[in-house]
Amino acid sequence: MALRREPHVLVVGGSDSSGGAGIARDIETISAIGVRTCLAVTALTVQTHDAVIEIYYSPPSLVANQMCAALQANDVA
């Protein structure tokens, strides 16, 4: 399904499994002001609101490729 070519914000960041921070919170905040998002995920975490238990970093080439694909697919402004 093709999306309209409206402006997007490119979110580059890590996940937070507790939902208190990271890309999930960024998407929620940006969406609340009516703007679309696209992503590049830098890390996956296992965490609670009180502690980070594990971090798995994305290889730099994967982050770069995600960013390139997001920029190709969307009007990032």
Check residue 46 and report its DSSP letter.
E
Q: Is residue 70 part of a domain?
A: yes
- Is the residue at 15 inside a domain? yes
Instruction: Lay out the sheet containing 36-47: strands in order across.
Output: 52-57, 36-47, 7-14, 75-76
Q: Residue 42: which domain range?
A: 7-76
Q: Are 38 and 70 in contact (CB under 8 A)?
A: yes
In a domain, 62, yes or no: yes
**pLDDT of residue 3 exceeding 60:** no
Tokens representing residue 42 in the block: 């830098």
Given a cut of 70, whether residue 1 has pLDDT beyond it is no
> Residue 4's pLDDT is what?
61
Q: Does residue 11 form part of some domain?
A: yes
Q: Is residue 1 part of a domain?
A: no
- pLDDT digits 0-9 by tens, 7-60: 999 999 999 999 888 999 999 999 999 999 999 999 999 999 999 999 999 999
